[in-house]
Copies of this chain bind each other. A is one copy, B any other.
């Protein structure tokens, strides 16, 4: 960590600050420039609170040289993590993991039908929302526990592990059933820290979506929240960020895949459906994500998008999904993967 002092910092001020830092067991290298003095802190800087240091009147800037996360950091865990998700499936290895399914679970027939088709096309997991975070309180909010039961039944029938979103820690017991394989934390809850801690205390695999306006560092800090509680089974999911451009629902940030893979050992998949909000963009951006190096995909598939209860505009049909999988099968080997 580096602390730049203000040009007018007095000796009393800087001495007081240096004393506080030394008291935490750190060494300080002082470099006096023409106008500013720079303190280089050597030692375990994780005992210091960067924001608190910025509060000192004599401090101009506090600059972190090391990343603020540890368990999520590749520095302390150079090998890629491969997360096993049940039913023989894992994420983060050579084999790409493609998660597919409808935005929301509607009926047993719907979810079983979709499960069957996506399994046939080669999907590795089944997704489906039972608890739905909706911008409007008047929109369909999901079938809740009944939906969850339908999803688990469909997953069993199709022999696919299931992924589904949790919105609140008090519903956690429902998600701890053996039938739920992966718990999803949605973009809007990426910094719902109490929920992160709650799932961190379980041993369920967590799929952590990037928040709409979360930096990569904040996202990895949210993963760290889960890992700090003991649960290291975390999969990240890039799903588009909010920018000024409104043509697409969000802006898919594929450079985040590369950034995450350099900074962290955790696997990362990409959700082109939510990123774009447009069905006709999904397959092309799915291919782009795999080409960029993603460990998998999360794709919304619906048997009848025109009549989907939510997000129909971004859902592709089972036939379109099968076609996409065919092209991914050709593409994967070029980037050293298989499907």
Contacts and interface: CB of A to CB of B under 8 A. Distances in A.
Interface of A: 2, 4, 7, 29, 31-36, 38, 40-44, 46, 49, 51-52, 54-57, 61, 63, 65-66, 68-69, 75, 133-140, 167-170, 188-189, 191-195, 197, 212-213, 215-218, 221, 224-225, 228, 241-248, 251-259, 262, 275-276, 280-281, 284-285, 287-293, 305-313, 315, 327, 330-331, 334-335
Given A32-B42, A35-B75, A331-B334, 16 more contacts: A4-B65, A31-B40, A33-B41, A49-B140, A51-B310, A52-B308, A54-B313, A68-B136, A134-B193, A189-B192, A192-B192, A241-B251, A244-B244, A255-B275, A287-B291, A327-B334
Contacts of A224: 136-137
Nearest to A229: B137
Most B CB atoms within 10 A — which of A262, A275, A306?
Answer: A306
A262 B279 CA distance: 13
7 contacts: A38-B65, A55-B306, A56-B312, A68-B136, A188-B191, A188-B192, A215-B246
Contacts of A133: 191, 193
A309 B55 CA distance: 9
A313 B38 CA distance: 19
Contact of A281 (B68, B137, B255): B255
Interface of A is mostly: mixed
A138 B193 contact: no
Contacts of A311: 51, 55
A258 B138 CA distance: 26
Contacts of A56: 306, 312
A49 B311 CA distance: 10
A208 B325 CA distance: 35
Most B CB atoms within 10 A — which of A217, A243, A257?
Answer: A243
A313 to B, nearest CB: 4
B308 A55 contact: yes
A57 B291 CA distance: 25
